[in-house]
Structures are given as structure tokens and as C-alpha cells.
């Protein structure tokens, strides 16, 4: 069923419609922006197939799962003040309906959303952004370790847990990167989350500002403490 949901999504159309065409496909587990760690979608092996937009295959998989006539569900949602997310969730509901999944939008106030859906208390599905981090382990451990309170999908996958714990112990970057890539290939096959896309954001600053880069997380002051003006 999870694979069918992923095949129902037209990610390229979604990017064109809500991100002005300036977006990239997210591999499973990590955002595409973590370039040193994120495996390109076309290198996921078996999992690459589930990034295609294929209505016929989605319907076949639903039939195999016992839902030949589709099913009804609910999509929890909060806009975070982003019109792109509002447009996006409407397209997601359309994509699902096209393969026989009748999804009802359950729009929540922010407080209700973070105290329920974000902690795994939801009826059917969730559509929304992921919390930004700067380190692969933060994304993987938060979302997929069984004991994590933010493991909202209730994943308990021993081989996956083993890989996540092993990559924590490896100091050699190349060896650790290969473990992270193994994790992404595993997630690509399992499709615990039907990843969508990352936006491409532009940042501009004066060349006199040295050792600075765009903020990618919630550490709004950390970048500036390491920067200086060369004038």
C-alpha cells in the first residue's frame, strides 16, 4: 500500500505547480540539500521504481493489498503559513483520488497539529515539511529509531535500526557515507514515507561577509558567530 501511494504521486508536476519548477526530488530519509550524504533517486536500486508516477502500477499494488476498489482515509495538515503547502496538499489529494484513494483533508490549528499529528497521533496520513537538521543522524534517528518520540510512522525495522546505530560509530567518512547510502536504499524499498521534494532557495550576501553560509536549521545565530567582515 505504501508503494502504491508513492507511485500515485506526480512529483515533477508537484514541483512545477507549487515550487515554480525550482525543486529537486528528495531521496528517502534525507533531504537532497545534504549533498555529501543524500543518494540521488536514480541510485536507489529497487527503490528508484517507486519514485515514478505510475497510476496503473499503483492500482495493481492496491488490488494486491486487498483494496481493489480503493479506500477512504484522512490527511492531517497544517499550512505553516505557506501557500505552497496549501496548493501541494490539494494536489496530493487529487493524485490519491486518481488511483482510488479517497482522502479527506483534516486541516489542524498549529498547536493541535504539533501535539497530535507530529507525535504520531493521527488517523491515516500526514502531509507537510520535515524538521530541518544539519547532520544525517538527526534525520535518521529522529524518524526511524523505535524509541524516538518523533518516529511518527511507528517504524520498528531491526535491520534499519542496526544500520542507523552502526553509522553513528564510524569515524571514516567514506565508510559512514556507504552505510548511510545503504540506509537510503533500504528505505527506498520499504517506502515508510513517500518523500516528495525539496525547494531550491536562493541566498545573497555582501562579499565582505566571510565564512558565512545560508542558515539550514534553527541555529539562527551560530552562522554569524563564526563570520566576520573583511573591510
Q: What is the pLDDT of residues 89-102, one digit of tens each?
A: 999 999 999 999 99
Across 101-111, average pLDDT: 96
Band (219; pLDDT cuts 50, 70, 90)? low
**Measured distance CA(199)–CA(219) in Å, rounded:** 20
124 within domain boundaries: yes
Give residue 20's domain range. 2-202
Across 209-214, average pLDDT: 85
Neighbours of 149 (CB within 10 A): 9
213 within domain boundaries: no
pLDDT for res 169: 95
- Nearest-CA neighbor of 73 among 31, 39, 102, 34? 102
pLDDT for res 140: 97
Cβ atoms of 105 and 93 within 8 Å: the answer is yes
230 within domain boundaries: no
pLDDT for res 224: 77
18 within domain boundaries: yes
**Measured distance CA(153)–CA(147) in Å, rounded:** 12
Which cell numbers hold the place of 213?
553560509
3-state secondary structure of 114: helix
pLDDT above 70 (res 218) = no
pLDDT for res 185: 97
Chain centre to alpha carbon of residue 25: 9
Alpha-helical segments (H) within the chain: 2-8, 11-18, 55-64, 83-98, 110-115, 136-144, 158-168, 173-190, 222-225
pLDDT for res 131: 83
Cβ atoms of 38 and 197 within 8 Å: the answer is no
Domain with residue 84: its CATH number is: 3.10.105.10
pLDDT for res 46: 95
Residue 186 or residue 216, greater confidence = 186
Band (217; pLDDT cuts 50, 70, 90)? low
**pLDDT tens-digit readout, 159-200:** 999 999 999 999 999 999 999 999 999 999 999 999 999 888
- Nearest-CA neighbor of 10 among 193, 199, 187, 196? 196
Report DSSP state, residue 143: H
pLDDT above 80 (res 117) = yes
Q: How many structural domains comprise the chain?
A: 1
Determine phi and psi for 164, rounding to 5 degrees.
-65, -45
195 within domain boundaries: yes
Model pTM above 0.75? yes
pLDDT for res 220: 61
Across 16-38, average pLDDT: 92
207 within domain boundaries: no
Amino acid at each position: 500500500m505504501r508503494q502504491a501511494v508513492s507511485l500515485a504521486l506526480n512529483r515533477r508536476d508537484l514541483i512545477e505547480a507549487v515550487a515554480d519548477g525550482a525543486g529537486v526530488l528528495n531521496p528517502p530519509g534525507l533531504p537532497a540539500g545534504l549533498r555529501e550524504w543524500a543518494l540521488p533517486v536514480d541510485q536507489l536500486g529497487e527503490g528508484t521504481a517507486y519514485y515514478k508516477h505510475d497510476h496503473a502500477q499503483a492500482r495493481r499494488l492496491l488490488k494486491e493489498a486487498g483494496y481493489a476498489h480503493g479506500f477512504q482515509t484522512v490527511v492531517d495538515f497544517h499550512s505553516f503559513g505557506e501557500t505552497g503547502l496549501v496548493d501541494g496538499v490539494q494536489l496530493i489529494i487529487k493524485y490519491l483520488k486518481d488511483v482510488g484513494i479517497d482522502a479527506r483533508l483534516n486541516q489542524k490549528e498549529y498547536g493541535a497539529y504539533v501535539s497530535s499529528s507530529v507525535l504520531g497521533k493521527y488517523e491515516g496520513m500526514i502531509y507537510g515539511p520535515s524538521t530541518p537538521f544539519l547532520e544525517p543522524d538527526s534525520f535518521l534517528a529522529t524518524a526511524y529509531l523505535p524509541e524516538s518520540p518523533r518516529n511518527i510512522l511507528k517504524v520498528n525495522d531491526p535491520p534499519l535500526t542496526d544500520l542507523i546505530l552502526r553509522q553513528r560509530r564510524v569515524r571514516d567518512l567514506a565508510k559512514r557515507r556507504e552505510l548511510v547510502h545503504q540506509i537510503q536504499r533500504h528505505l527506498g524499498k520499504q517506502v515508510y514515507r513517500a518523500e516528495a521534494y525539496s525547494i531550491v532557495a536562493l541566498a545573497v550576501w555582501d562579499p565582505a561577509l566571510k565564512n558565512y553560509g545560508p542558515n539550514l536549521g534553527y541555529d539562527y545565530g551560530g552562522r554569524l558567530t563564526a563570520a566576520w567582515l573583511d573591510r
